[in-house]
Structure 1
Amino acid sequence: MILRLLGRAGWRWVDGRLRAAEITRTALAKVFPDHWTFMLGEIALYSFVTLVATGVFLSFFFVPSTAETIYGGSYAPLHGASLSAAYASAVELSFDVRGGLLFRQVHHWSALIFLGAIAAHACRIFFTGAFRKPREINWLVGVTLLLTSLANGFVGYSLLDDLLSGTGLRIGYSIALSVPVVGSWAAFLLFGGEFPGDLIISRLYGLHVLLLPALIATLIAAHMAILIRQKHTHFPGPGRRDSNVVGSKMWPTYAFRSLALLSGVLAVTFGLGGLAQINPVWIWGPFKPANATTPGQPDFYMGWVEGMIRLFPAAEFRVFGYLVPSPFLPAVALPLLMVLVMYAWPWLDRLVTGDRGRHHVDARVRDRPGRTAVGAWAVAQTGLLLFAASDDLIARWLKAPVEDVVAVLRIAVLAVPPVIGAVAYVLARALRAHPESRLMTLEPRYVGEALGLSRARPPRRPAPGRLGHRPDVPAEDAPRVAEAGGRHAG
């Protein structure tokens, strides 16, 4: 009883100075859309929380140094070997620290889920047009968050000083050297001398555990603050307008759903960490500059760059007397061009469509066939480049010369994505013309109409007494008009 009274008095004291009750009531009454795709961003958030928690544990045992040490841990094949302190501590984490291997693998799997969720979330934003005015700023924040997370993933992957990560780091060093004029200076400054240098691990460690996580956390906070200020978008449907949000209140419905998602993310990542082996550094062995892992591929989030490097022809040329080495175009110029297009996309989309209005209702994927075609093209291109990063494995599986595999992949990367984009464009046009249809039930004659091979027929009128489908409402949402109209909106 006394504790309860003290708690009430303390709460009133805080509320009298911060108006916490008003802020809390407003926060608990906030409405969130119900569609499952809006949870992709939360999966990324909870994966980042898992990354921070497991990273703190790992930092107690990892030694970010290239100083030589004699290994005396439990892994017998390395007994008495002279290893870098970073690699030796990674092996000891895996075999001698209680729970160390579990936390190492959970950390790695969480990084993959984190980046995968960000990429999937970005695709949802792109295909539904949620980047349109007034959300251009949040699109820029999201793209920066994606790039920062990619950088931190590569830095963390390179810390362990095993043969696989060392090979990747050497590729990164070569890419830096390929930048004309400033490349050699930048590489020398970062590595503290010629590759591999003695300072790179400690410098990457500072980036991985301090600077980049702080930047990621700041970007996440900014992303969420802008989201709260501008409110969520939502999909077209009954009662959904640019002036409201239809869905579930923060408390209790959405809060319990979000907590369930957090439990699910933790269950999946710890399940993978305990059951699915990933990055077994003791198998790769310590990094030695004279050796390289083959066949070996980076994690998927860097695979598209690796694929471009492997497929791009070796082409060197000079500009104003400066040599431009062959890695520059596939590893620097083309990725930079892709990043610039991503940053500029809200304005490019506005330039093409002429749409300058403010939008809080998302577009359906079928509503903008051109945007859908570009997105399908980009996703297909990235997927094929990721596939090309395994050309040596493909050659081994097919028992074919790797040169032939590279030749076929070059053709596929150039030819297949435009075809996929064209198919997506035709299907989107057909679905837009017949809003009562879904992709799996789309009639072939509707595709013919989109291709101009047959004349369009007027849509059938709904039978008397039946609920007709609104053009902007998915078929499965039509029976819920009365229900949605009575839900919370704000």
Structure 2
Amino acid sequence: MTESTTGSRTGSTTRSTVRDAGAGERIADWADGRLGVYGLGRKYLRKIFPDHWSFMLGEICLYTFVVLILTGVYLTLFFHPSMNEVEYHGSYVPLNGIRMSEAYSSTLDISFDVRGGLLIRQIHHWAALIFVAAMFVHMMRHFFTGSFRKPREVNWVFGWLLLFLALFEGLLGYSLPDDLLSGAGMRLIEGMTLSVPVVGTYLSFFLFGGEFPGHDIVARFYSIHVLLLPGVMAALVVLHLILVFHHKHTQFAGPGKTEQNVVGQPFFPVYVAKAGGFFFLVFGVVALIAAVASVNPVWLYGPYRPDQVSTGAQPDWYLGFAEGLVRVMPGWEITVGGHTLVLGILIPLLAFPLWLVLIGAYPFFEAWITGDRREHHLLDRPRNRPVRTGLGVAWLTGFLVALAAGGNDLWATHFHLSVNTITWTARVLLLAGPVLAFVVTKRICLGLQRRDRDKVEHGRETGRVRRLPHGEYVELHEPLSPSERFRLTHHDQPAPLEPPPAEDEQGVRRRVRRAVRVRVALSRWMYGPGSQIPKAGARAGGSEAAAEVAAPAEVPAAPEVAAASEVSEVAGGEVGS
């Protein structure tokens, strides 16, 4: 648009416009002219996020990671990653005059001589424990609700890699102080490295810079712990968040919620305000725990000496699974080609990453079985996928059994039990526990499905009993609300795959590949009659209530929400709900 004015008037108008524009607006205009921030703001600041408490688990992961970065940067200012021996002269009197590494000495200085150093150390350690725990729970939430399905398989892999790197990062940070407890952990690392066939000895010498404990391990662990892994993890976090924005947020099924929309509140200002407050809440809770609950008091353990070990030594909880696998494994050894294979260490060394790979690869395993190529933005209720839920509980059972087995000596001393009895019990449970957990969980899920179906067909029990004129007693039921009926019936029930015809068009017997037969068998196991209960309206001769639920006309519309901020994002745009 062009506007013609006199020269003096034009100059006057220009000066007035410049004078009226605020500094913030000028900066925003400058940024928009170079970065296009207005378009990005319109697209992403109004992004819709659903409201559900389980979505806060991912925020806890993110915020504790930020706390780890902040406290870690502070600790690097005072920590000396060196194994050179010095004589300690500091505030902790019991260790004065003791020879120790610079790493351990600087850790004591941080704890007793740096103002606020002990609190920062405690916050850092507690944040690491909570970070890994939140990641486990966050990942299990995604697993049981099926949010890993297309198009989020890549984001699931990113999250799984973050968990794997977090375990390794925690191990390295736990080993840096060079105290007696962390030294025992490094001795375990050396033993596992030596158990690797053929190259184990070379790997150990390379890792420790010579014979254990060497003089380089702390400096090497420090570089990886402070520089390499945090950078990789930060990049994965950014990619993870970008994909969350790109794919839209998943949501639980409900009235008005479909695979094409998101019902919730906008990113700005509602979600930003909530997220900001929640960050400070998480930070405050971690700081409070760190202030009142001591963790890893390295001054009580003393400096590491290869000829000593602490009784009851335990790693951080997230490494207890690996410790338990080593403790329950019999001390088997075999000799192959002149090389001794220590199976008692080698098998746990392989089983630990394999156990994590099982959960990481599951989305691709399920997609291969079902052949489902659709996009999924609505979450499953765990009860509606009994086999998947059972497999997840079985995986957790094996993890928890191995975690408990990692403290077999503590169980024995605290409860006056035999270590051998505890170890053998753990061996049996490690094999039988996941199977039993799967069977029980599957039956519970099927029972919950039956209860949901009966509730839809007959209504909710009122707890009142009526006596009929002829003496019969009947229980009174009340009908479900449309929204609750929708929640109990709005889920798909995939049909199992059917095998290809035994003969082709010419009557020649068809040769079916073994992979196809396996896939069909797994599909029947996962979605066959014994693995899901037909929902209301899916059975022939269903009740009138079930037929009403199944009718598309009975699907309730989205409830009108009084809050003006609650909107629905549809097909890339936003409309009022």
Taking structure 1 as the reference length, the TM-score comes to 0.90
In the other structure, the counterpart of 1:47 is 64
**1:372–1:424 contact (8 Å) kept in structure 2:** yes
1:32-43 map, 5 Å: 32-43=49-60
**1:316–1:323 contact (8 Å) kept in structure 2:** yes
Aligned-residue offset at 1:355: 2.9
Distance 1:408 1:372, change over 3 A: same
Aligned-residue offset at 1:230: 1.2
My pick for the range that moved more, 428-437 or 375-384, is 428-437
Inter-partner Cα distance in structure 1 for 2:276 and 2:380: 29
Inter-partner Cα distance in structure 2 for 1:143 and 1:419: 26
Number of residue pairs the alignment of both structures matches: 467
Moved over 4 A (4+): 1-4, 464-468, 478-481
Inter-partner Cα distance in structure 2 for 1:473 and 1:53: 45
Aligned-residue offset at 1:5: 2.4
In the other structure, the counterpart of 2:395 is 378
Inter-partner Cα distance in structure 1 for 2:480 and 2:61: 47
Aligned-residue offset at 1:360: 1.1
1:122 to 131, 139, 145: 139
**1:238–1:473 contact (8 Å) kept in structure 2:** no
More strand by share: 2
My pick for the range that moved more, 317-326 or 339-348, is 317-326
Aligned-residue offset at 1:195: 0.7
More helix by share: 1
1:94-113 map, 5 Å: 94-113=111-130
Inter-partner Cα distance in structure 2 for 1:186 and 1:466: 64
In the other structure, the counterpart of 1:274 is 291
Aligned AA (2:94)? P
Inter-partner Cα distance in structure 1 for 2:442 and 2:43: 43
Inter-partner Cα distance in structure 2 for 1:482 and 1:397: 56
Inter-partner Cα distance in structure 1 for 2:210 and 2:454: 62
Pair 1:488 & 2:567 matched? yes
In the other structure, the counterpart of 1:253 is 270
Aligned-residue offset at 1:135: 1.1
In the other structure, the counterpart of 1:134 is 151
Aligned-residue offset at 1:326: 2.8
Distance 1:436 1:29, change over 3 A: farther
Counting aligned pairs with the same residue, the percent is 41
Distance 1:75 1:20, change over 3 A: same
Inter-partner Cα distance in structure 1 for 2:99 and 2:412: 35
Distance 1:6 1:336, change over 3 A: closer
1:295 to 305, 308, 312: 312
Partner SS, residue 86 of structure 2: strand
1:63-102 map, 5 Å: 63-102=80-119
Aligned AA (1:40)? L
Aligned-residue offset at 1:412: 2.5
In the other structure, the counterpart of 2:4 is none
In the other structure, the counterpart of 1:463 is 479
**1:106–1:270 contact (8 Å) kept in structure 2:** yes
Aligned-residue offset at 1:418: 2.1
2:38 to 18, 21, 25: 21
**1:373–1:424 contact (8 Å) kept in structure 2:** yes
Inter-partner Cα distance in structure 2 for 1:479 and 1:375: 33
Deviation per residue, 1:59-105 (Å, 9 max, x gap): 11111000011111111100111111000111111111100000000
Gaps in structure 1 of 5+ consecutive residues: 444-459
2:331 to 306, 314, 317: 314
Aligned AA (1:322)? H
1:388 to 389, 405, 409: 405
Partner SS, residue 245 of structure 1: strand
Inter-partner Cα distance in structure 2 for 1:64 and 1:396: 36
Pair 1:355 & 2:434 matched? no
Inter-partner Cα distance in structure 2 for 1:408 and 1:356: 43
Aligned-residue offset at 1:320: 4.7
Aligned-residue offset at 1:196: 0.3
Distance 1:184 1:21, change over 3 A: same
1:190 to 188, 207, 210: 207
Distance 1:4 1:161, change over 3 A: farther
My pick for the range that moved more, 31-40 or 462-471, is 462-471
2:229 to 195, 202, 212: 212
Partner SS, residue 469 of structure 1: helix
Pair 1:364 & 2:381 matched? yes
Inter-partner Cα distance in structure 1 for 2:373 and 2:120: 48
Inter-partner Cα distance in structure 2 for 1:240 and 1:80: 69
Inter-partner Cα distance in structure 2 for 1:42 and 1:464: 35
1:431-450 map, 5 Å: 431-435=448-452
Taking structure 2 as the reference length, the TM-score comes to 0.77
Aligned-residue offset at 1:321: 4.5
Inter-partner Cα distance in structure 1 for 2:559 and 2:330: 60
Inter-partner Cα distance in structure 2 for 1:164 and 1:46: 29
Inter-partner Cα distance in structure 2 for 1:161 and 1:3: 62
Distance 1:120 1:2, change over 3 A: farther
Distance 1:207 1:2, change over 3 A: farther
Aligned-residue offset at 1:424: 1.0
Distance 1:479 1:229, change over 3 A: closer
Larger RCO (CA within 8 A; separation ≥ 6): 1
Inter-partner Cα distance in structure 2 for 1:274 and 1:388: 30
Aligned AA (1:489)? S
**2:88–2:96 contact (8 Å) kept in structure 1:** yes
Inter-partner Cα distance in structure 1 for 2:350 and 2:135: 23
Partner SS, residue 445 of structure 2: helix
Aligned-residue offset at 1:171: 0.1
Rg comparison, structure with higher value: 2
2:163 to 146, 154, 158: 146
